[in-house]
Amino acid sequence: MAGIVEAKDGKLYRYFEGQTTCIEPWGKNALRVRSVMMGYDMNDADYALSEEVPAQYCAAGAEAAGNCTIKTWLEEQSVVSNFPGARTIQVACGSITNGKIRAEITAGGKVVFYENATGKVLLEEFARNRLDGHSKDLSALEIVGREFMPHRGGDYQLTARFEPNANERIYGMGQYQQPYLNLKGCTLELAQRNSQASVPFMISTQGYGFLWNNPAVGKVTFAKNLTEWVAYSTKKLDYWICAGDTPAEIEEQYADVAGKVPMMPDYAMGFWQCKLRYATQEQLLEVAREYKRRGLPLDVIVVDFFHWEHQGDWDFDPTYWPDPEGMIAELKSMGVELMVSIWPTVETASVNFKELNERGYLIRTERGVQYGMDFMAPTIHFDATNPGARKFVWNVAKKNYFDRGVKLFWLDEAEPEYKIYDFDHFRYYAGSNMQIGNMFPVMYAKTFFDGLREQGIEKTISLLRCAWAGSQKYGALVWSGDIGTTFESMRNQIAAGLNMGLAGITWWTTDIGGFHGGDANDEAYREVFARWFEWGTFCPVMRVHGDREPRQEPVGTTGGAMCCSGGPNEVYSYGERVYEICKKYMNYRVQLKPYITQIMEEAHTKGTPVIRPMFYDFPQDQATYDYEDQHMFGPSLLVAPVYTAGQSERSVYLPSGAKWRDIHTGTVYEGGQVVTVATPLEVTPVFARDGFDLI
């Protein structure tokens, strides 16, 4: 169990029984850890760690810059055996330091991370064996911190184990449909599904950030007695860890190595109108005209799915959308941008199916029929991990959409969604779904990001239903998927949005009002819609969408027109009282435009989440960690959503170190206290910090 430890090329290596482990500087106050078996090339892919690291913070130059030190040494170690007596051997150990973080390889081969200045343990591998420098690990259990369990004739199931920190709170990890902001005690599937986005970067109150840089399907458990990461099919352990004094410092260091969003275009900061679905060109135009007749601020309107003849055509159906150029010109004359839905699914009747299939640009199935989903027709998805497929799809979309004036795309079905989530059944250009499937939404976003950049669009934004680590750098605006239309569902989205932001996905939104159902004539649902709309005003993007009841009959018998549409979903569809509420909050959004521009610049330059828990801005106020259902919208607005039916008042914690003005009443409060405010249907509590006066 001794192993060999050596320093080489600015990195620390350990070799033991076919396993090679490498620890190296990778960004400010950060280290990257990789481990492989049997000579596999650990440099095969960087995945989320794609940003160029300045020389003073990477292996090539960190030592020369004085940021990194590497040491190796031998320790005398007693070996416990089943035979009488004990023997002493020399065991190789090593350490590597990069700014605020230090890693040590102990006598037993496990890795421990320390805060360099204080020596506080940040994170340590979980190991139980007969030889280690930590007395608590002397054990006959023989459990290792890094375990590669081979599949016969193929990859490994990888398990990485870490000691729990008793008082640690964990945030980030993406979007899961649950109300928990603090993820300590949770088990999370590392897999993509409709309304679930696995983005495996976390921030710990212990003072570190951790990226599981492996796109394999798996799971993570943040248990009381153990933290355990599992990849079901992989060849490499790969993670990144950084130390920081505040959540903001950790977040910004992560953004430096994984990427930041582009600058959001002006039109995207306003109000977006959408429903399932405007079935014809005239329906959509009439809605835009009505918004303008009423003097409502409309910035984006959406052509949703099945505006095509066949999935995979990526084109307007000329029967129901006869003049796209004229439609777009009229919308632009009203100051409205058009967003067009794209699905990655391709049916055999598509004009593009034959060439896509013959070129190998479609996802393959391991057995049976080449089939992944069957909404309106049996389909298979284009393979976004294939560079040729990405280029092909963009060229079709450019000809049929971009060249007609569309520059805003809704990349739906981005997980991708399957009829049955048998992850071991699908194979991509980059590997099996089990190995690399979680990166599909990143490559889907890259398809249109690269195409738009080639056409000179610098402020690139695409709406997607899923993400993985690094999606942000390709202009991904992620929404929370096909969720319910209840207050319980709304509550889940608060946790989802805040954890997505801390996972690095700074652009995030929901379907205001939820997706599945909701009748605009139902008073109970009108309350849900109004509360959700008020909260949505203070989210990164303000967008209504949903499949409302009663559903409308199909408008035709050919092409996409055979797909039915949901009921009315415009702000004037919900009765006069809700309409007045919507107008009030839409005007708030207009007033906030200079402020929203400011916080979008921070997201672009620093990776700052647009919405974030209060502790992000007030890390010294420990009470902020206890209030998980209110949040900051940028640094100057505190929002406390109302997500319970009939709620007439709400308690709000105001962080210490600031004064807070209730935007509805003008009352000013000192921070560091809980206040109770009235919440009639027209009021969601919002407090402005230290004289902020845009609203």
Say how far apart CA 195 and CA 190 lie, in whole Å.
13
| Domain locations in the chain as residue ranges | 4-258, 266-344+385-606, 613-689
pLDDT at residue 675 is higher than 60: yes
| Catalytic residue selected from 304, 347, 415, 417 | 415
Q: How far apart are CA 109 and CA 92, in angstroms?
A: 9
Helix, strand, coil proportions of the chain in percent (round to 5)? Answer: 25, 30, 45
Q: Among 73-77, 261-265, 267-271, 647-651, where is mean pLDDT lowest?
A: 73-77
Give the pLDDT confidence of 413-432 residue by residue, as tens digits: 999 999 999 999 999 999 99
| Displacement of CA 436 from its chain's centroid (Å) | 16
122 HSE (CA, 13 A, CB side): 27
Encoded amino acid at 481, one letter = G
Q: Where are the alpha helices (DSSP H) in 359-436?
A: 387-400, 433-436
Q: What is the rounded CA–CA span in Å between residue 668 and residue 675?
A: 11
Estimate to the nearest angstrom the gap between the alpha carbon of 77 and the chain centroid.
Answer: 45
| Whether residue 482 lies in the annotated active site | yes
Confidence of residue 136 (pLDDT cuts 50, 70, 90): low
Q: Is the pLDDT of residue 1 over 60?
A: no
- Per residue in 430-475, pLDDT (tens digit) is 999 999 999 999 999 999 999 999 999 999 999 999 999 999 999 9
Count CB-CB contacts under 10 A for residue 693.
9
Tell me whether the omega of the peptide bond preceding residue 262 falls within 30 degrees of 0, making it cis. Answer: no
Residue 149, beta-bridge partner list:
157
Give this prediction's pTM. Answer: 0.97
Cβ–Cβ < 8 Å for 512, 545? yes
Q: What pLDDT, on a 0 to 100 scale, did the predictor assign at position 137? A: 57
Query: What gap in Å lies between CA 120 and CA 248, rounded to an integer?
Result: 20
At a CB cut-off of 8 Å and minimum separation 6, what does 368 contact? Answer: none
Residue 526 has a CB neighbour count (10 Å cut-off) of 21
Q: Assess whether pLDDT exceeds 80 at residue 86.
A: no
120 pLDDT above the threshold of 50: yes
Which helix (H) or strand (E) segment is 445 a member of?
A: helix 440-454
Beta-strand pair 673-678/668-670: unpaired
Query: Of 482, 534, 570, 621, which residue is the catalytic one?
Result: 482
3-class secondary-structure state, position 87: strand
Instruction: Categorize the per-residue pLDDT at 142 as very low, low, confident or very high, splitting at 50, 70 and 90.
Output: confident
Domains 4-258 and 266-344+385-606 share a fold: no
pLDDT at 108: 85
Q: Which range has the worst mean pLDDT, 127-141, 348-362, 459-473, 475-489?
A: 127-141
pLDDT of 133 strictly over 70: no
41 is catalytic: no
Q: In the annotation, is 415 catalytic?
A: yes
DSSP state of 524: H
Q: pLDDT tens across 166-197, in order? A: 899 999 999 999 999 999 999 999 999 999 99
Asked if CATH classification 3.20.20.80 holds for the domain at 266-344+385-606, the reply, yes or no, is yes
Predicted local distance difference test score (pLDDT) of residue 636: 98
* Structure confidence at residue 79 (pLDDT): 65
- Residues 575-587 have a mean pLDDT of 98
Q: Which CATH number fits domain 4-258: 2.40.40.20, 2.60.40.1760, 1.20.120.160, 2.60.40.10?
A: 2.60.40.1760
Residues 6 or more apart whose Cβ sits within 8 Å of residue 56 = 62, 64, 65, 67
Instruction: Return the percentage of the chain with pLDDT > 70, whole number.
Output: 97
Residues 295-318, mean pLDDT to the nearest whole number? 98
CA 294 to chain centre: 36
Mean pLDDT of the chain: 96
Q: Which of 313, 412, 417, 547 is catalytic?
A: 412
Q: Give the architecture (CATH level 2) of 613-689.
A: Sandwich (2.60)
Extract the tokens encoding 641.
């959503």
